Structure 1
């Protein structure tokens, strides 16, 4: 990431998160603390009011009067950008495809109108990619999360899954609030899944702080977590290939399952469905629901996960 990108992410983090330590900024941007101090010096030279609070509970903060707010695009303008990412590809001779997709992803994360749902698929599909919330709603979410983190309170959220069109209620112990690759995230312990998870703020409909108190485990390392989960923030997706039996081939061919889908008909009458996803939890349920007429071809890791679930089901019966 370039120095300019780092500086912009620092400004946005300080603007919304408030008092932030050099260590937190260093872990977020994946640089050393000396670099953070140089960045702060650069911002001050550019007349951006970043100040230092010394002491045990010190850190950096930005003047409350300073405000940097990106302009909001209409849904039609945003749809045009998304359409461009499908036309301007390396296959069609556009060498900057990855940069364009990254830029549009960052714009999309903050420019969707309040309470609007950007639907990239029709209602006949199994999967829908939707984002909820805008910058105005984001400010309120960030405020509530900061309140919970500062007081060690568990939060209850209504979370919109990227692979299904409904909300789930989650109880989360928020460890940190993170601005990364143009979007805000919560990293914390999910009570429902009994593991540390990453939640994208634009997919959170409501947030409520509870009276339950939590403590961040001493074994948790933000740096290690980011190193092990970097694909979540860089938008990396996995190519998934599923073979469907000829018995349901027409059903698969007539469906709109994902915006990235490619369907290939085989001589046997079976069909191959290829899609790119960053989360496979709901996909696994869908495949298991179809049963013997669906077989995961790639990736091997997903195939093994499906196999393990089938073996557990077999043991029960």
Structure 2
């Protein structure tokens, strides 16, 4: 029998024994009665028992230890209070349960943590119809699903997840985009972060002796443990993962200064709603602007990124200080004008270097490439609960149904049943006996004292983080039922927020939760929805009354897919551009021809919409590396610059995208787009 299997039998039998005894027991009693310990000598038992206790504690299962005589380990008494193993009852409303059903149906097979999510939902939905049989949902679709995105990235993610849990230092080769170099990194992994369709690792870099952020898609080759030790480090108590999830591009790194940015009153509501957490706002003083204008005060670590953001806001934003930042903006504007007048001067084209394609993490993850496999311990506990419940009801369960619910193969099911059949309370009293019959069903005969596994067990760390990460990914965008209240109940039952240990999902865009709730209500009740919408590229506000059908997320944020009667077609409105949303009393009859999620495999994932025109855009050598990672490169140049191709429906959008590159991009063609960029930059330079 494999050592891992022996360990699982031993640990499950220890739990069963302690909970069946319902009294403190001594170490000699445990050695005598618990499956797997009796054949060991005293030293081997002491080592194994200590290791098993440590592993169970890491899984959130804490044994109670009573020390009557100080310093004498053999006099210690051990017990397992039921509350240390069982999950407190969580009472969900029908709406909350519907929200959980929707979350699973959306993410199953599309989420790097899909398998532990299934186990978590099995546990927290105890006593209710399984959320695994949810009907197809049509009112929400996901373009960004936190899938691992390919085999290599899946392997890295799984290894890092385990390293975080086990406190293991890891070693890997990493491509540093800023310096254009590949080097080896030794890192204490603290946290995984999912943001903007990408997974990131936050940890202490041994080379820098400081916390750094690493994008998983830039890791090359395999991730390895740095040592064979059981644990290599302890995460600092003061580490707060939320501070990394809440950073904006210009705040990546150590702060170098504080900027003041004038924001026109026309868009102040939008900037304050979506960027307020990255700084502070104050009213514009005389000479800085008019009555509704605001000044945004924000720390920055990367001057170029902040300048690029300000330029992307066009005439509605202006840098007030510090002086060196204003000077950099002026230089970059001059560069933009020059490169759209006479330049840029193009180096000769060269044959593109062969590149190993790296997944960007936005792909459609499938079950066969699932990144995170839950601990087998968690699977066995869940399987035991399923079999005991069915056995007590005198029911047989189809083996295929259990395999589907737990996402395991028939062979794995047989192996798991074999393990559970030898888990016992001691003295030859087993938890259950189960077998797969010839007709493909499972017959189970549970022991009368099998109460230990007849109630839901505590969520293990990977299950808890999977559940909360799934809730955070979807947020307040489910018409079937709010997940915010579900999250509160789950965190209360767990006693802590799992995002502090493992995976945190950072919000895309700004705080649009209030708008999302109004939109969700209108979708659920088939109410007409009136929105005040800011069309950024044209700098116009419009009022639309639409028929809302679904919420869809994408690389840039959340959208409502709606039928617009005034334009006789489906339109997608970004929630962060909706200034106000009003649910009308009037209702609409859903149109059979409208399929709001039809485009979810397209632009929400890729960021590119269908367009009638394409532009050729030069990217400077300094920014070419980023372009290769994010854009469609059509030409490599001898000096390291590249030419990319961008599809666009309107020149205004293209102008804004080029301004955001802060002088490191220039439209080559079409000519009208070149002229429009030069004109826009000239207007900004005169401000």
Q: TM-score, normalised by structure 1?
A: 0.44
Q: TM-score, normalised by structure 2?
A: 0.23
Relative contact order (C-alpha < 8 Å, sep 6+): which is higher? 2
For the pair shown, the structure with the greater C-alpha radius of gyration is 2
